[in-house]
Structure 1
Amino acid sequence: MSTARLLAALLAIAIGPTELLHAAEPPFDVAPQNSDLVVDQTFDGPLGDKWHINTGSWTVADGVLQAKELPADKHAAAARYTVQTDNAVYQLGFKISDGTKAFHFGFDPAKGELDKKGHLFSVIVSPTGWRIMKHVDKNRPQEDPNEVLASSDTAVETDRWHRMRVTTWGPYVTATLDQTQLKASHPTFGVKKPTLVFRCAGDGVQIDDVKVWNQRK
């Protein structure tokens, strides 16, 4: 068991999962205690070398990152930002359009942390609602499929800015989208995460003000 997962388990036993989630959950724009700001992306210039474009169109225009799926790729637009996190708080602004099928913000597990192929988990937003989903193990899709751990059918309005804040603490995740909040947990979540994963299915997601605070050891 990793140090982070063991710590989370011990804390959960000591104070309970509900208290733990609230303890690790500051409001928007407030830096968590005992943390360091490790990502501060305002898109005032071109994407730097920490960004890696996998598929789709990702361009900076008018001070925001604009993403859209390209039909020729036959895959959702996908981009990654390289930063290693463990227990952390992630915050960003985003705007979806009428042509957006889904916007994903999530994570990969660090190599060697899990016996798994594929993404770790994502917060997935569409105009009709949003959810936290644990992703399938592509080596064992029947035994370990995609699993929605929490969901909201609150509509996410198109063509206006929304704010998302995600806190990870061991196996626990708290995600806040504007005034709506979801909580979930899974034993695989308490691992090191080497990248932030952004994906856009369809046309028209804008992203801005990406911040990440890493918890100090």
Structure 2
Amino acid sequence: MMIRISFAACCVCLLSSSLAVAQQAPPANSELVVDQSFDSDSLDRKWHINTGNWAVKNGVLKVSEVASDKHAAAARFPVETNNAVYQLRFRLLGDAKAFHFGFDPAPGELDKKGHLFSVIVTPSAWKIMKHVDKKNPKQDPNEVLASESMSFEKDRWYTLRLTTWETYVTATIDGDASLKANHPTFGVKKPTLVFRCQGDGVEVDDIKVWRQVK
């Protein structure tokens, strides 16, 4: 039997590892607006590749840095969200140094240049980070709002589930480990999903986004 919970209640559920089963249920009062399973041989045309290698192979999205880019592998998938639940699977391979999943603020929402925030996973830890305002880096630098030491095994799949609700963010790994953050800038419209990879490489699969239905 599928567990059904309200969208607002889903945010509360994500705050408790004791409700891990409920976490995996699609939130009620929402619509599924992204469903990327990479079953075809090519990447959906909606993806915008900024840097790095991004290719679909064997039913997953494979990502790696390109040294000549002198930048982390980066790509965006357009979908406007505010209050939403995001879920994906990922695994670190080879010499992968970090996997980032995050957001940009919609144009005009903030007097800021640069990313909004990201969940960042490394082989030994993960964190939620508010990104620097590139116009005012000294006054508004990168800020780690939540972090935890955690060993992420190479070649093992993990499920990341993220809820944005007004200015609050909750992230879980496999419905258990949890990070929570709150920042006044987080409650803005978000026009894209931002993916980044440092090193070689990362695999991503089963990206889903449920957006609140008003």
Greater mean alpha carbon deviation, residues 92-101 or residues 180-189: 92-101
Q: Is the CA contact 2:130–2:142 (under 8 Å) kept in the aligned structure 1?
A: yes
Q: Deviations over 1:147-177 (max 9, x none)?
A: 0000010111111100000000000000001
* Structure 1 unmatched ranges of 5 or more: 1-10, 12-18
Provide TM-score, normalisation by structure 2: 0.90
* Kept after mapping to 2: 8 A contact 1:119/1:135: yes
Q: Within 2, Cα distance between the matches of 1:73 and 1:206?
A: 20
Residue among 28, 32, 36 paired with 1:37: 32
Structure 2 residue 58 is matched with structure 1 residue 65: no
TM-score, length of structure 1 as denominator length: 0.88
Q: CA RMSD in A?
A: 1.7
Q: Report whether the alignment pairs 1:113 with 2:113.
A: no
Alpha-carbon distance between aligned partners in 2 of 1:171 and 1:199, rounded to the nearest angstrom: 23
More helix by share: 1
Contact preservation (8 Å) 1:21, 1:172:
no
Q: Between 63-72 and 89-98, report the one with greater CA deviation.
A: 89-98
Instruction: State whether structure 2 residue 192 is matched by structure 1 residue 195.
Output: yes
Counterpart for residue 16 of structure 1 = none
* Partner in structure 2 of residue 22 of structure 1: 12
User: Quick one: distance in 1 between partners of 2:162 and 2:29?
Assistant: 17
- Determine if contact 2:10/2:23 at 8 Å carries over to the other structure: no
Question: What is the distance in 2 between the residues matched to 1:20 and 1:35?
Answer: 11
Quick check: 1:124–1:133 contact (8 Å CA) kept in 2? Answer: yes
The offset of 1:50, in angstroms, is: 1.3
Structure 2: 5+ residue stretches without partners:
1-7
2: CA distance, partners of 1:202 / 1:151: 21
The aligned length equals 200
